[in-house]
Amino acid sequence: MAKKDVTDVSLKGKVVLVRADFNVPMKDGEITNDNRIVQALPTLQYILEQGGKIVVFSHLGKVKEESDKEKLTLAPVAKRLSEKLNKDVTFIPETRGEKLESAINALNDGDVLMFENTRFEDLDGKKESKNDSELGKYWASLGDIFVNDAFGTAHREHASNVGISTHLETVAGFLMEKEIKFIGGVVEHPDKPVVAILGGAKVSDKIGVIENLLNIADKVLIGGGMAYTFLKAQGKEIGLSLLEADKIDFAKDLLERAGDQIVLPVDGKVAKEFSNDASITTVSIDEIPEDQEAMDIGPDTVALFKKQLEGAHTVVWNGPMGVFEFSNFAQGTIGVCEAIAELKDATTIIGGGDSAAAAMQLGFEDDFTHISTGGGASLEYLEGKVLPGIKAIADK
C-alpha cells in the first residue's frame, strides 16, 4: 500500500510537526557523525520552500534518570541543524508547556523551531516510550500536520510517532519514503534475482530475517561471527570462534531446508587473541585450530561471495563480515563492500546498523543505491513485520 508523503499535502502557512531521527552519536557534548541530520535536510528544505512553519523533534539516547538530561539534550543538534540549513533554528529546552506553545505561536512562515529530547518524557512513567495517549494528543495539538521522517524509530510504538498520528493527518517525509521504497520493496516486490548478505555477531539477532529472506532471496550469503554457528552445525571444528550453542539445532534445520540457497565461508582469518595486533593466519574453514578464533572471512570467501553476486538485480546487506573495527580484520567487509559497489545494474541496499557504519567508514557511501538509517527498524522490516511507525502513516 502506497503511503502519502509530504508532497501530497498543502503546507503553506501550516505548523508542520516533523519527527526526525536525530539520535546521533555524541562524545563530550560534540556530535561525532551528523549523517542522520544530513539525511533529514531534503524534507525540511521542501517544507520551507512550501512556506511551512517547522517544529522538529527527536529522541536522543535513553533517558533513565534526571542526570541523563545534561548529556542528552538536543541543543547541540539544533546548533548543527542551523548550520546545515543555513538559517536560525530556535531551540526550546522543553517538551511541553507555555514557553513551547508561545514560541510555536510566534513562528512565521519559513521559520524552524526544535524542542527538547522526546525521551525526557520517559522520566515520568515512560510517557514517550509507552505511547502515553495524553502526550501524543498534546504534541498533536501543537501543529496542523504531522510529517514522520524517523525511520529509525518506525519499529517502535511511541507517543512521538504513533501517538501523534492518532490525532493528526500523518504523511511520510522523503527519508521515510525512501526507506519504504527500498527496504519495503525488497520484502514486497523484489526485482529478482535477489542476493542477501548477512553478517554480524549473532544468529539469534537475525533468526526472523534469515527465515524471511529465504522466501525472498535466491541466495543468502552468511559471514561474520554468526557463520560459525552454522559451520558448527555442519560438524566443523571452529576453535574459539563465536558460537551460540543453543542455536545449533536451528542452524542445522535451516541448512537442511535451504540446501545450496545458503552459502557459508570457505576460509577465514584466525588469531589466538582478540586484538588488532594479533598474529594472523588465513586457513581453510576445515582447518581452524582449536586454540584460535576466526575474526574475518578470508580472500577465497570474498571471491566466492563475489561470484554469487554476479547477475543479481537486488542485493541487500546487513552485518559486517568480521571484526571490521580492527583494521587487520576489515578486509572481508571491504571486499564485500567493493564487490557490491561494482554491481552497476543492481539495486544495492544496506540495512543500517554496523554494515552502514562500515560502508561509510570505508568510503563506500556513494556506491550503494540506498543506505538505511535504521538498524533495528530495517531488520524488523526485512523480517516481514508490520512497523507501527509506517502503519500509522496515511495511505494514498
Which residues share a beta bridge with 284? 267
pLDDT score of 31 more than 80: yes
pLDDT score of 352 more than 80: no
Which residue in 48, 49, 50 sits closest to 112, CA to CA? 48
pLDDT score of 373 more than 90: no
Mean pLDDT of the chain: 94
Q: Rg of the chain's alpha carbons, rounded to an integer?
A: 23
Alpha-carbon distance of 284 to 263, in angstroms, equals: 15
Percent of the chain with pLDDT over 70: 100
Alpha-carbon distance of 396 to 13, in angstroms, equals: 23
Which residues share a beta bridge with 147? 18, 171
Give the model's pLDDT for residue 272: 94
The Cβ-side half-sphere exposure at 381, using a 13 Å CA radius, reads 33
pTM metric for this prediction: 0.89
User: 89 with 114: CB under 8 angstroms?
Assistant: yes
Cite the annotated binding site for ATP by residue number: 206, 325, 352-355
Which segment of 92-101, 146-155, 333-342, 358-367 scores lowest on mean pLDDT? 358-367
Helices (H), 189-247: 207-216, 227-233
Alpha-carbon distance of 199 to 152, in angstroms, equals: 20
Strands 219-222 and 194-198: parallel
Which residue in 345, 237, 367 sits closest to 293, CA to CA? 237
Give the model's pLDDT for residue 1: 61
Cite the annotated binding site by residue number: 21-23, 36, 59-62, 119, 156, 206, 325, 352-355
Cite the annotated binding site for substrate by residue number: 21-23, 36, 59-62, 119, 156
Alpha-carbon distance of 315 to 103, in angstroms, equals: 46
Alpha-carbon distance of 172 to 5, in angstroms, equals: 4
Which residues share a beta bridge with 296? 269
What's the pLDDT tens digit per position in 275-318?
A: 999 999 999 999 999 999 999 999 999 999 999 999 999 999 99
User: 349 with 186: CB under 8 angstroms?
Assistant: yes
Span 141-147, average pLDDT: 98
Please list the active-site residues.
36, 202, 353, 376
Span 13-19, average pLDDT: 98
Helices (H), the chain: 35-49, 68-71, 75-85, 98-105, 133-141, 164-165, 174-188, 207-216, 227-233, 248-258, 299-309, 331-341, 353-361, 375-382, 388-391
User: 55 with 113: CB under 8 angstroms?
Assistant: yes
Alpha-carbon distance of 50 to 146, in angstroms, equals: 15
Strands 293-297 and 267-271: antiparallel
Alpha-carbon distance of 113 to 292, in angstroms, equals: 55
Distances (CA, A) of 73 to 30, 33, 51, 118, 138: 11, 16, 28, 10, 21
User: 296 with 322: CB under 8 angstroms?
Assistant: yes
User: 176 with 145: CB under 8 angstroms?
Assistant: no
Q: Which of 171-185, 348-362, 370-384 has the highest mean pLDDT?
A: 171-185
Distances (CA, A) of 234 to 88, 205, 228, 230, 349: 60, 20, 10, 7, 30
pLDDT score of 364 more than 90: no
Helices (H), 287-330: 299-309
What number of other Cβ atoms are within 10 A of residue 300's Cβ? Answer: 15
Span 33-50, average pLDDT: 95
* CB environment 315-331: b (16+ within 10 A), e (fewer): bbbbbbbbbbebebbbb
What's the pLDDT tens digit per position in 76-128?
A: 999 999 999 999 999 999 999 999 999 999 999 999 999 999 999 999 999 99
Angle at 63 between CA 136 and CA 174, to 5 degrees: 55
Give the model's pLDDT for residue 16: 98
- Three cell numbers at 247? 542455536
pLDDT score of 232 more than 90: yes
Span 133-141, average pLDDT: 97
Q: Which residue has the cell 501523534?
A: 164
